Amino acid sequence: MAETTLTRAVDWSDPAIRRGISNRHRRDFRLKVIGASALGVAVLMLLILVGSLLYNGALAFRQTHVTLEFEISAAHVDAADPAAGNYRAITQDALLRLFPEVTARAERRALGGILSNGVQYALRDRVVADPGLIGQTIALDVLVSDPFDQLAKGAIDRATPEANRRVTDAEIAWFDRLDAQGRISKPLNLGLLTNADSRFPEQAGLLGALWGSFYALLVCFLLSFPIGIAAAIYLEEFAPKNRLTDIIEININNLAAVPSVVFGLLALAVFLGWFGMPRSSPLVGGMTLALMTLPTIIIATRAAVKAVPPSIREAALGVGASKHQVVLSHVLPLAMPGILTGTIIGMAQALGETAPLLLIGMNAFITQAPDSIMSPATALPTQIFIWADSPERGFVSRTSAAICVLLVFLIMMNALAVVLRKRFERRW
Partner 1 sequence: MDMQKLSAATKIQARNVDVFYGENQAIIDVSIDILDHAVTAFIGPSGCGKSTFLRCLNRMNDTIAICRVTGSITLDGDDIYGREVDPVQLRARVGMVFQKPNPFPKSIYDNVAYGPRIHGLAATKADLDQIVEGSLRRAALWNEVKDRLAEPGTGLSGGQQQRLCIARAVATAPEVLLMDEPCSALDPIATAQVEELIDELRESFSVVIVTHSMQQAARVSQKTAFFHLGLMLEYGDTAKIFTNPDHEKTQAYITGRFG
> For residue 107, what are the CA distances in angstroms to 34, 70, 104, 171?
65, 20, 5, 9
DSSP string, 244-299: HHHHHHHHHHHHTTS-HHHHHHHHIIIIIIIS-PPTT-HHHHHHHHHHHHHHHHHH
In whole angstroms, how close is the CB of 326 to partner 1 at the nearest point? 10
Q: Choose one: 12-20, 26-34, 165-173, 309-317; the region binding partner 1 (CB under 8 A).
A: 309-317
- The CA distance from 73 to 223, in Å, is 56
Number of helical (H) and strand (E) elements in the chain, helices listed first: 17, 3
- The CA distance from 26 to 33, in Å, is 10
- CA count, 13 A, side-chain hemisphere, 188: 3
Which residue, 90 or 308, has its beta carbon nearer to partner 1?
308
Q: Choose one: 135-143, 270-278, 316-324, 374-382; the region binding partner 1 (CB under 8 A).
A: 316-324
Which residue, 95 or 305, has its beta carbon nearer to partner 1?
305
SS3 181: coil
In whole angstroms, how close is the CB of 330 to partner 1 at the nearest point? 7
Task: Give the one residue of 318, 391, 422, 423 binding partner 1; rule: CB under 8 A.
Answer: 318
Which residue, 317 or 416, has its beta carbon nearer to partner 1?
317
421 binds partner 1 (CB under 8 A): no
Segment 201 to 260, residues that bind partner 1, using CB under 8 A? 240-241
8 binds partner 1 (CB under 8 A): no
What is the end-to-end Cα distance of the chain in Å, rounded?
39
Task: Give the one residue of 128, 172, 312, 410 binding partner 1; rule: CB under 8 A.
Answer: 312
298 binds partner 1 (CB under 8 A): no
321 binds partner 1 (CB under 8 A): yes
Chain centre distance of CA 148: 28
Closest CA to 358 of 272, 257, 253, 256: 272
317 binds partner 1 (CB under 8 A): yes
311 binds partner 1 (CB under 8 A): yes
The residue ranges that bind partner 1 (CB under 8 A) are 240-241, 309, 311-322, 325, 329-330, 334, 426-428
